[in-house]
């Protein structure tokens, strides 16, 4: 006798884009619809490449939701139990997420698709992306764009030329090289992100 099939679960395809950046920085992720806002926050952190060192906030249909922390009275503890499915979001409906209230990294999040499936073992999962996340604590969009311009490949070549003209102290050189690599190596590794997302499943 065949066993009863598992009930179908709603899966949402979300596109999360950082506002104000060019070239654009965005991620496309698949998530179970019953995910809590607290867990969705963790998914965004892993997918974008942030380190969860700052406060965050969701704004959905004009209402704010976030994590309750000391000194952050504007947050609601409901985010730890409130699920995305309770909003019954429609396809193409959007909301946003802000990370780091000083830098104000706004992520515009849109529901691209909503499907029913019985297979959610590999969720959440990143399926597409564009651009590397700005480094943590670089400031907001304007500060990031200014620093990125000053850390271009052309500026890097000029810095290399300057090494011929001054004495080199090894530790100082190592620190400078690390800073340059942070800005020049802007590749995005989807496998690393999905490894992080699998850790969330555990």
Which pLDDT value is given to residue 4? 55
Q: Give ∠ CA 7-11-131 in degrees, rounded to 5.
A: 160
Average pLDDT, the chain: 82
Which pLDDT value is given to residue 96? 97
Global pTM reads: 0.79
Q: Are 25 and 131 in contact (CB under 8 A)?
A: yes
Could you tell me which residues come within 8 angstroms of residue 5 by beta carbon, excluding any fewer than 6 positions away? 118
Which pLDDT value is given to residue 152? 59
> Can the peptide bond before residue 56 be classed as cis, meaning omega within 30 degrees of 0?
no
Average pLDDT over residues 52-58: 93
Greater pLDDT, 1 or 128: 128
Which pLDDT value is given to residue 68? 53
Return the beta strands (E) in 48-104 as ranges: 56-60, 63-65, 94-99
Greater pLDDT, 179 or 43: 43
Q: Is 85 helix (H, G, I), strand (E, B) or coil?
A: helix
Which pLDDT value is given to residue 75? 47
Q: Work out whether the CA dihedral 169, 179, 186, 197 comes out positive or negative.
A: positive
- Over the stretch 3-37, which tens digit does the pLDDT of each residue have? 556 677 889 999 999 999 988 999 999 999 999 99
pLDDT for 102 beyond 90 = yes
Distance CA(145)–CA(138), nearest Å, equals: 10
Cα atoms in the 13 Å half-sphere on the side-chain side of 12: 24
Distance CA(47)–CA(44), nearest Å, equals: 5
- Over the stretch 148-202, which tens digit does the pLDDT of each residue have? 776 656 565 665 566 667 776 666 667 666 665 665 666 778 898 999 999 887 6
**List of domains in the chain:** 9-132+187-201 (3.10.290.30), 142-182 (no CATH)
């Amino acid at each position: 006798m065949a066993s009863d099939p598992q009930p179908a679960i709603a899966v949402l395809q979300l596109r999360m884009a950082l506002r104000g950046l060019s070239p654009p920085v965005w991620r496309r992720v698949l998530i179970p619809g019953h995910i809590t806002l607290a867990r969705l926050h963790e998914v965004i952190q892993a997918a974008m490449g942030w380190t969860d060192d700052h406060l965050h906030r969701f704004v959905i249909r004009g209402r704010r939701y976030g994590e309750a922390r000391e000194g952050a009275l504007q947050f609601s503890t409901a985010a730890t139990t409130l699920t995305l499915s309770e909003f019954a979001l429609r396809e193409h409906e959007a909301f946003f997420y802000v990370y780091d209230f000083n830098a104000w990294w706004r992520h515009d999040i849109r529901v691209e698709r909503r499907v029913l499936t019985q297979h959610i073992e590999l969720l959440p999962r990143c399926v597409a992306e564009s651009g590397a996340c700005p480094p943590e604590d670089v400031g907001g969009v304007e500060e990031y764009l200014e620093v990125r311009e000053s850390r271009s490949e052309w500026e890097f070549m000029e810095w290399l030329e300057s090494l011929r003209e001054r004495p080199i102290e090894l530790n100082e050189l190592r620190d400078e090289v690390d800073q340059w690599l942070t800005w020049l190596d802007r590749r995005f590794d989807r496998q690393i992100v999905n490894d992080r997302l699998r850790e969330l499943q555990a």
